[in-house]
Amino acid sequence: MKMTDSLYSRLGGYDGIATFATMLVEQARKDALLGRFWSNSGEDRLARELQLLIDYLVKETGGQMYYTGRDMALAHKGMGIDEVDWTRFIEIVTSVAGELGVGPTEGSEVMAFLDSLKADVVIA
């Protein structure tokens, strides 16, 4: 692929992003620290949240997707996500990206994107 291709294309398109999001959420749900954020959610809610995450990531990386969810600040308001939670989340993102063979260029673009969301997700 050419470097001019969208991040969406370079991450494997819809299937690549869906695989990444699914693995990320599965690992975060099982995590001793982060699992609490999903502890009382039903299967339908979990499936809906995963699909919204996939839609959001597809849209934000340059894919053709209409995202119908809330913005990041509203979606995470009141969850009490702190710096320790964020650091653990980034560790899981890095691990999943490594498992999927995400290259260093794409990885740094993903990290820059996540860093741009941090202020809307982590409590001050």
Total structural domains in the chain?
1
Let me know if residue 18 belongs to a domain.
yes
Let me know if residue 3 belongs to a domain.
no
Q: Closest by alpha carbon to 75, among 57, 53, 106?
A: 53
Let me know if residue 68 belongs to a domain.
yes
Average pLDDT over residues 7-24: 97
Domain span at residue 53 reads 10-119
Tell me the pTM: 0.92
Contact 31, 25 (CB under 8 A): no
Let me know if residue 88 belongs to a domain.
yes
Let me know if residue 4 belongs to a domain.
no
Q: Indicate whether 111 pLDDT > 80.
A: yes
**How confident is the model over 21-36, as pLDDT tens digits?**
999 999 999 999 999 9
Phi and psi at residue 102, to the nearest 5°: -65, 130
- Taking the C-alpha atoms of residue 73 and residue 62, their distance in angstroms, rounded to an integer, is 21
Let me know if residue 124 belongs to a domain.
no
pLDDT at 117: 96
CATH number of the domain to which 87 belongs? 1.10.490.10
Residue found by looking up tokens 């849209």 in the block: 59
- Grade residue 5 by pLDDT with cuts at 50, 70 and 90: very high
**How confident is the model over 45-90, as pLDDT tens digits?**
999 999 999 999 999 999 999 999 999 999 999 999 999 999 999 9
